[in-house]
Amino acid sequence: MHDQFDVSLEDSDLLGEVELTTNLIIAASESDDHLSEAQIDEILGVAPDPYAGG
């Protein structure tokens, strides 16, 4: 007999967000100081803003 409560639930977007958050937590715990915005962007895979000054 089929159990209506026996379902697998997977949210790929949520899993991706958990992975990014985990990567940030690990990087922060391994760092002696605060992470810079550039370091956070690199961890998250964010491309640098071509319009940002600097």
Closest to 24 in 3D by CA, of 35, 38, 13: 35
Q: Is the pTM of this model over 0.75?
A: no
Q: What confidence score (pLDDT) does residue 53 get?
A: 65
pLDDT in tens, 1-54: 778 777 777 888 888 999 999 999 999 999 999 999 999 999 999 987 778 765
Query: Where do we find the tokens 């007999």?
Result: 1
